[in-house]
Chains A and B, each alone.
Chain A
Amino acid sequence: MKDTTLVVAGMATLAAGTYAFRLSGQALRARISFPPRATRLLEAAAVILLAALVATTALTQGHGFSGFARPAGVLVGGVLAWRKASFLVVVIAAAAVAAGLRLLGIR
């Protein structure tokens, strides 16, 4: 770790900024009332953000492709989740598939 002061400043910025986001959504909601349709749109917006997070963390590494093992693990986890497997089964299966493929030489 090169510059401790700068890293601490970055950590503090991220912590404070994240707390501000957590607070401001609630504060806004108390001031303005939302029609049910707008609320549903907001919930859908959160799902879209998370789906995008899944896609990028599963398939990319930097600006490139992450390799096959990781998305394969995530895919198996996703199929299990769709079939209503328990949370822990999903997570362990995802890790096991990715690790198994790498063991076989598939990156």
Chain B
Amino acid sequence: MLTYAVLVDVGLTCLAVFFIGLSYGAVAVASGFPLWVPAAQSLLVLAGASEFLFIGIVAAGGNPIAAALAGMLVNARHLPYGLALPPGVTGRGWRRLLGTHVMNDESVVFGLAQPDLPGERAAYWACGLGVLACWPGGAVLGALIGSAVHDTNAFGLDAMFPAVILALIVKDLRDPRTRRAALAGAGIALASALVLPAGLPVLLALAAVLLLVRSPAPEAAR
């Protein structure tokens, strides 16, 4: 059901997630958290950006509940993900409990990129389960070696996360209309990041969707 090329991409994505997990675990320990915090968080939240945010806010002296709410703001994008996934991709019955948990940026992108439902389901699950293994695995290993590496930024680990997400959406950015809206959204987020608390600027970027509502694509372009 999955072509060799898709499997290779999923594998490389999971490897990249593992590397980011390494940086996450290392950053968490360097910020003063015990190993079980990134371990439990990576397994139970399973959404990298929000976990980095949570660790960052709490380490800076912020209230953990406020940090959790900021993390939820970042993770609100999973709601449109759930709307975008064709029914049946996340599985049925008890499997859907797990299929829902492994919904993340990567699994949704790979799922949506396949031509038919069996392909969508296979790619979604392969990537979802791969990330479920690699993200916590990387985080735990990163936390273990984190005490040895004092300045993770010296290794450029902080540049990995935005680069991963950018690589994930680059296919969509080839469409000029989506690109314009994405750039506008990025501009809104950057401008508001100067004043608003972390998490909010990303959600505010959604206002850029209006650019797409006002200029409908000609149906023939599909």
Assuming the A-B contacts A48-B185, A74-B162, are A22 and B103 also in contact, with contact meaning beta carbons closer than 8 angstroms in the complex?
yes
A interface footprint on B41-54 (CB within 8 Å = 1, 0 otherwise): 10011110111101
Q: Which of chain A's residues have a CB closer than 8 A to the CB of B103?
A: 22
Alpha-carbon gap, A95 to B167, bound state (A) = 14
Alpha-carbon gap, A93 to B16, bound state (A) = 12
How far is the CB of A4 from the nearest CB of chain B, in Å?
Answer: 9
A/B pair count, beta carbons within 8 Å: 288
Alpha-carbon gap, A59 to B202, bound state (A) = 13
Alpha-carbon gap, A97 to B153, bound state (A) = 12
Assuming the A-B contacts A1-B37, A26-B82, are A44 and B163 also in contact, with contact meaning beta carbons closer than 8 angstroms in the complex?
no
Alpha-carbon gap, A34 to B83, bound state (A) = 9
Determine whether B30 belongs to the interface, using a CB cutoff of 8 Å to chain A: no
Alpha-carbon gap, A58 to B191, bound state (A) = 14
How far is the CB of A16 from the nearest CB of chain B, in Å?
Answer: 9
Alpha-carbon gap, A9 to B158, bound state (A) = 27
Alpha-carbon gap, A94 to B170, bound state (A) = 15
Determine whether the beta carbon of B193 is less than 8 Å from that of A60: yes
Chain B's closest residue to A43 (CB) is B84
Q: Which of chain B's residues have a CB closer than 8 A to the CB of A46?
A: 77, 80-81, 84, 108
Q: Which of chain A's residues have a CB closer than 8 A to the CB of B71?
A: 14, 17-18
Determine whether B118 belongs to the interface, using a CB cutoff of 8 Å to chain A: no
Alpha-carbon gap, A27 to B85, bound state (A) = 11
Assuming the A-B contacts A14-B50, A53-B165, A74-B163, are A28 and B83 also in contact, with contact meaning beta carbons closer than 8 angstroms in the complex?
yes
How far is the CB of B78 from the nearest CB of chain A, in Å?
Answer: 4
Near A by CB (< 8 A), chain B positions 83-115 give 83-85, 87, 90, 100-101, 103, 105, 108, 112
Determine whether B194 belongs to the interface, using a CB cutoff of 8 Å to chain A: yes
Among B82, B166, B181, B194, contact of A78 (Cβ-Cβ < 8 Å): B166
Determine whether the beta carbon of A51 is less than 8 Å from that of B169: yes
How far is the CB of B200 from the nearest CB of chain A, in Å?
Answer: 10
Near B by CB (< 8 A), chain A positions 37-83 give 37, 39-60, 62-63, 66, 69-70, 73-74, 77-78, 81-82
Task: List chain A positions with a Cβ less than 8 A from chain B.
Answer: 1, 3, 6-7, 9-11, 13-15, 17-19, 21-30, 34, 37, 39-60, 62-63, 66, 69-70, 73-74, 77-78, 81-82, 86-88, 90-100, 102-103
The 10 closest A-B pairs by CB, nearest first: A25-B82, A10-B64, A73-B159, A77-B163, A98-B156, A52-B205, A94-B163, A99-B156, A52-B189, A95-B156
Known contacts A11-B40, A44-B212, A98-B159; 11 further A-B pairs (Cβ under 8 A): A10-B68, A14-B54, A14-B72, A44-B178, A50-B169, A52-B189, A52-B204, A52-B205, A53-B202, A94-B156, A95-B163
Q: Could you list 27 A-B pairs, sorted by A, with CB under 8 Å? A: A10-B63, A11-B45, A14-B54, A14-B72, A22-B103, A26-B82, A26-B85, A30-B87, A39-B84, A41-B213, A46-B77, A48-B184, A49-B202, A49-B206, A51-B185, A53-B49, A55-B187, A56-B190, A74-B159, A77-B159, A81-B163, A90-B16, A90-B164, A91-B160, A97-B156, A102-B153, A103-B154
